[in-house]
A = this chain, B = another copy of it.
Amino acid sequence: MDQIKQVAIVGGVHGNEFSGIYLIRHYQQQPQWITRSSFQCQTIWANPEAHHANKRYLHSDLNRQFKTADLANPNLSNYEQSRAKVLNQQLGPKGNAKTDLLIDLHNTTSNMGACLILTQAGPFYNQLAAYVKMQMPEAIISRDEDHIAAQDHALMCTLGRYGVLVEVGPQPQSVLRHDVMDLMHRMTQHILDFVQLYNTNTVPNLPKQTEAFRYLTSIKLPVNEQGERLGMVHKNVQDKDYHPIHRGDPLFSLFDGGVIYYEGENTVYPTFINEAAYYDNNLAMSLNEKVIIELP
Contact = CB atoms under 8 A, between A and B. Distances in A.
Contacts of A36: none
Contacts of A125: none
Contact of A235 (B30, B174, B178, B229): B178
Interface in A92-110: 109
A281 interface: no
Interface string A58-69: 000000000000
A274 interface: yes
B276 A173 contact: yes
A174 B173 contact: yes
Contacts of A29: 255-256
A244 interface: no
A233 interface: yes
A22 B221 CA distance: 14
A181 B22 contact: no
A179 B239 CA distance: 11
Interface residues of A, number: 29
Contacts of A274: 175-177
Interface string A190-232: 0000000000000000000000000000000000000001001
A255 B173 contact: no
Given A22-B255, A172-B109, A255-B26, A179 B235 contact: yes
Interface in A144-167: none
Nearest to A175: B276
A233 B18 CA distance: 14
Q: Which of A29, A170, A232, A233 has the most CB of B within 10 A?
A: A232
B255 A178 contact: no
A10 to B, nearest CB: 19
A25 interface: yes
Q: Which of A174, A181, A233 has the most CB of B within 10 A?
A: A174
A240 interface: no
A279 interface: yes
Nearest to A235: B178
A177 B235 CA distance: 7
B253 A178 contact: yes
Interface of A: 22, 25-26, 29-30, 109, 170, 172-179, 181-182, 229, 232-235, 238, 253, 255-256, 274, 276, 279
